[in-house]
Amino acid sequence: MKPVIGIVSHVATAKSPLGTTSLGNSYVVSIEKTGGTPLILPCYIRESDMDTYLSLCDGFLFSGGIDISPSYYNEEPHVKLGATDHALDESQITFMKKVLDRGKPVLGICRGHQVLTVASGGTLYQDLSEHEGTYIKHFQETAIGDTSHKIYFEPDSILHDIFGDWIYGNSYHHQSTKDIGPDVKITAYAEDKIVEAIQIQSQKFALGIQWHPEAMFAHGDETMRPLFEAFINACKTN
């Protein structure tokens, strides 16, 4: 049987007072193209339902979205902090911790990368202007499937095994990992030393990726296929 991949959705506020569950179809396409069965999960997951989803799914993909409140890592809000949603943060950080406790394979993309950072004991740059020496444009203004800048991979990491020394990736973020938790390894950087990926060392497959590989892959960039294949394979053997 194909592994079932729970894709944690996001919330859009337009047209509904309770928000609208939202998910770009590129996440679904990327899972389908590499042999997984996507199951779209609510953006706000009740804690009482989390064990059910953990039992239903072989692995989890946490999608992109808005900023995470700095209250989760004991900082005051920066003047350039974007929109946040406390209920969304509480739900997704709690769920991420439960995913890690179960040892389920997990891939966090963009906001999902940041959720993984915070859930594993790390902190964020609330805006990249806080990072000394940043000079690369990390929020590109081109088509979402286009590549933007180089991403360099650290040896002895899942991503180095998949991609080698470096690739070109796309870029749509203004926050990034700052400090990491005790079981976390930084596995990728941009040339200006902004963190592009992290890996939980004690887990079989727990990656946070700052770029959007699903957008590149769904728009025909085959360089991202091995990443999703590695994730699906990890979920098959879970």
pLDDT digits (tens, 9 = 90+) for 1-25: 899 999 999 887 655 566 678 898 9
Partnered with residue 206 across adjacent β-strands are 106
Q: What pTM value is reported for the model? A: 0.94
**CA 37, CA 121: separation in Å to the nearest integer?**
31
Q: For residue range 153-205, what is the model confidence (pLDDT) as tens digits?
A: 999 999 999 999 999 998 878 889 999 999 999 999 999 899 999 999 999 99
- Residue with the two structure tokens 């007072």: 17
The candidate with the shortest Cα–Cα distance to 157, out of 124, 115, 205, is 205
